[in-house]
Amino acid sequence: MVFKTKKELIAAVKDFSIRVARREYMVVQSSPTIWKVKCKNMSGGGYCGWGLRACLKQNTGYFMITKYGGDHTCISNQVGIDHHNLDVNTIASSLLGIVRCDPAYEIKYVRENIKEKYGYDISYGKAWKGLKRAVEIVYGTWESSVAMLPKYMGALSKYNPGTIIEWKHLRPNEQPHKTLNFVFWAFKPCIDGFEHCRQIISVDGTHLYTKYKHKLLIAVTLDANNQVLPLAFALVDEETYESWHWFLHNIAAHVTKGRRGVCLISDRHMGISSAVQALPDFQPPRGVHRFCLRHVCSNFNSRLKITKKTYTKK
């Protein structure tokens, strides 16, 4: 048998060993031109006779199996338990199509999928690593995603003319590459739409459950039909005075643009309150700052708990 690449050869041998032979193998020799494996199981006091050797044929550029040891002579003891060769890369390869359709695919379904396809129960840790590897292959790693952020923002600006994008980087410290601190963006149609909406802006932050625990700051308003219109977004490391001040400053500069009478609504986060005090656009007489009643009620109920009393009828 011949294979276009060494990767395809290894994938085929793994699939055969896991689903058909149901035995484990170990790699004896591996180089850019040679790959040799043999069975790990013992047979009659010695190793099983199964094995194969493949090498790269220079005239074709394909890998060819040049030596094959025949059928396994050992007894399989890998029934229903984890398989050593069912590794993270194999699991990830089997999940690529699923992850493309459903990026939020859950780990419990990964284990069910592998059990149905290969007949083995893999550990939670191996399922998690396989799913993580599949997501990284399809969508990239967190580091590569951050590296592509300028290109992505450039595309947003190109295909949405007038879209505002602002960057803030950490001090380079004599490093050749810039380190991202904050990024702000607001779409031009949303900026134009605010002129026809109520003079109310609600801001809040949400956690991004990623490797680096960033926060997404969001500003929205309501139109005349009580529909939510997103105004601006910012990606920051933490909700602090610095990040909120920078976000609200950009809203004042690019969204409200000196419009008077704007009411800013937020929760009682100290970073927001301190930032508003330093921004005249959201202070009288230009504007006002109010707290969200939902958060006020939530804080009241959590801090001033009322004990319910039970009365018995005499």
d(CA 75, CA 53): 22
- Select, from the ranges 40-49, 91-100, 176-185, 207-216, the one with the highest average predicted confidence (pLDDT): 91-100
According to the model, what pLDDT value does residue 170 have? 81
* Residue 47 reports pLDDT greater than 80: no
Q: What is the mean pLDDT of residues 154-178?
A: 85
According to the model, what pLDDT value does residue 310 have? 52
d(CA 192, CA 262): 15
Q: What is the mean pLDDT of residues 276-291?
A: 93
Q: How is residue 243 written in tokens?
A: 């990040």
According to the model, what pLDDT value does residue 209 have? 78
99-149, pLDDT tens digit by residue? 999 988 999 999 999 999 998 989 999 999 999 999 999 998 888 888 899
Q: For the beta carbon of residue 219, count every other beta carbon within 10 angstroms.
A: 26
* Residue 313 reports pLDDT greater than 60: no
Q: What is the mean pLDDT of residues 221-226?
A: 91
What residues pair up with 179 in beta bridges, in sequence order?
170
Is the pLDDT higher at 113 or at 80?
113
According to the model, what pLDDT value does residue 128 have? 94
Domain boundaries, the chain: 1-75, 78-139, 143-304
According to the model, what pLDDT value does residue 145 have? 85
Residues recorded for the chain: 314
What residues pair up with 200 in beta bridges, in sequence order?
263
Q: Could you say which DSSP state residue 90 is in?
A: H
Residue 208's alpha-carbon distances to 27, 178, 231, in angstroms, are 41, 22, 19
According to the model, what pLDDT value does residue 78 have? 56
Is the pLDDT higher at 141 or at 230?
230
According to the model, what pLDDT value does residue 138 have? 94
d(CA 220, CA 155): 23
According to the model, what pLDDT value does residue 32 have? 94
* Residue 305 reports pLDDT greater than 80: no
> Torsion angle, CA of 69/75/81/82, rounded to 10 degrees?
-20
